[in-house]
């Protein structure tokens, strides 16, 4: 019988520490060529408002597909901008194993990948975190990044001042103007749907680390050219060069995929200012779904 897991059940089964470790393993396998995965097929239904993504992947121990709707037009409506379902199969026989809600999977695996990257790329004594954006990804990143670095100060900025104020109250953070939030920060997260850059490279302290996870369209940007001129790491070269406006429009030079660093094929450039541009790839979702399924079956 095919298992069905709703978001509540997924949330009960999914834990940060094993998820962060699973993302390292999955992305190392991806960069070593052990994953069969095309670039996401993103269908435009209505430019700027409605998109549907199709994301299959096959690894040695997991096979599946995520269907994700990206509706930035939902912002402020009470309906999430990202909704998804994940279908999981046995890779050896092709038998369907589970169908599960993918909204929380998307939220948590994105932050878990950033946490894994931060553990390798950010200075060990990082103490100040700046969150640009105050939505679900800001919350998830605060939870995940706090497991890999001990932050004494958390700053938050949002284009909607009231949203930043509420986030700050709920999470013991400081709501600040964007430049003030970034200057002096050790780790910065950009998690917005900005069309034009909101983060300027001139604000970054030497040795800072940026996790850029928003604006997932080839003509949208969160970071300016000076920020993108720092040491650039991506989750997938092919996907970033097709989907990321930050990479495409800045003509940024990619140093490595994060999976190459996880696998030891490239050294982690911890002495430089680093930008990790994450567009999110299917193997992250399928590996997370396998983690959830195994937990549901009592295999963990």
Average pLDDT over residues 15-26: 98
The fraction of the chain above a pLDDT of 90, given in percent, is 94
Helix (H) or strand (E) holding 260: helix 258-263
Average pLDDT over the chain, rounded to whole? 96
- What pLDDT, on the 0 to 100 scale, is given for residue 59? 97
Q: Residue 300 pLDDT > 80, yes or no?
A: no
* Rounded to 5°, angle at Cα 112 from 94 and 292: 35
Single pTM value for the model: 0.95
Q: For tokens 């900025």, what's the residue?
A: 157
The DSSP result for 147-202, as a single string, is: TTS--SEEEEE-SSHHHHHHHHHHHT-EE--HHHHHTT-SEEEE-S--SS--B-GG
Q: Residue 43 pLDDT > 80, yes or no?
A: yes
* Rounded to 5°, angle at Cα 84 from 81 and 87: 170
In the chain the first and final C-alpha atoms are separated, in Å, by 21
**pLDDT single digits (tens) 53-102:** 999 999 999 999 999 999 988 888 889 888 999 999 999 999 999 999 99
Which residues are 46's β-sheet partners? Answer: 50
Of 109, 52, 115, 55, the residue nearest 82 (C-alpha): 52
Q: Residue 295 pLDDT > 80, yes or no?
A: yes
Ordered structural domains, the chain, with CATH: 3-105+283-296 (3.30.1780.10), 117-280 (3.40.50.720)
- What pLDDT, on the 0 to 100 scale, is given for residue 58? 98
- What pLDDT, on the 0 to 100 scale, is given for residue 48? 87
**pLDDT single digits (tens) 230-266:** 999 999 999 999 999 999 999 999 999 999 999 999 9
- What pLDDT, on the 0 to 100 scale, is given for residue 182? 98
- What pLDDT, on the 0 to 100 scale, is given for residue 76? 80
**176/247 Cα distance (integer angstroms):** 27
CB 135 within 8 A of CB 167: no
**pLDDT single digits (tens) 195-235:** 999 999 999 999 999 999 999 899 999 999 999 999 999 99
**pLDDT single digits (tens) 141-171:** 999 999 999 999 999 999 999 999 999 999 9
- What pLDDT, on the 0 to 100 scale, is given for residue 99? 98
CB 85 within 8 A of CB 101: yes
Distances (CA, A) of 200 to 188, 196, 226: 12, 11, 7
């Amino acid at each position: 019988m095919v298992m069905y897991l709703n978001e509540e059940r997924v949330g009960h089964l999914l834990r940060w520490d094993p998820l962060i470790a699973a993302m390292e393993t999955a992305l190392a396998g991806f960069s070593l060529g052990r994953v069969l995965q095309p670039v996401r097929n993103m269908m435009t239904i209505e430019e700027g408002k409605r998109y549907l993504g199709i994301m299959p992947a096959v690894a040695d121990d997991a096979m599946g597909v995520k269907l994700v709707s990206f509706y930035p037009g939902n912002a402020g409506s009470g309906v999430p901008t990202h909704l998804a379902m994940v279908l999981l199969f046995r890779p050896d026989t092709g038998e369907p194993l589970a169908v599960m809600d993918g909204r929380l999977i998307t939220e948590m695996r994105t932050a878990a990948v950033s946490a894994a990257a931060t553990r390798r790329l950010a200075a060990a004594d990082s103490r100040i975190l700046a969150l640009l954006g105050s939505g679900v990804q800001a919350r998830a990143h605060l939870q995940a990044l706090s497991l890999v670095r001990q932050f004494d100060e958390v700053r938050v900025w949002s284009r909607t001042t009231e949203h930043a104020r509420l986030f700050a109250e709920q999470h013991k953070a400081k709501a600040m103007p964007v430049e003030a939030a970034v200057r002096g920060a050790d780790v910065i997260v950009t998690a917005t749907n900005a069309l034009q850059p909101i983060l300027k490279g001139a604000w970054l302290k030497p040795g800072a680390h940026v996790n850029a996870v928003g604006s997932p369209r080839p003509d949208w940007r969160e970071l300016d050219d000076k920020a993108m001129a720092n040491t650039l790491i991506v989750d997938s070269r092919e996907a970033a060069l097709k989907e990321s406006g930050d990479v495409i429009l800045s003509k940024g030079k990619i140093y490595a995929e994060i999976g190459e660093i996880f696998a030891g094929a490239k050294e982690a450039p911890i002495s430089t200012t680093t930008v990790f541009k994450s567009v999110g790839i299917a193997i992250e979702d399928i590996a997370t779904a396998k983690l959830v399924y195994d937990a549901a079956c009592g295999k963990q």
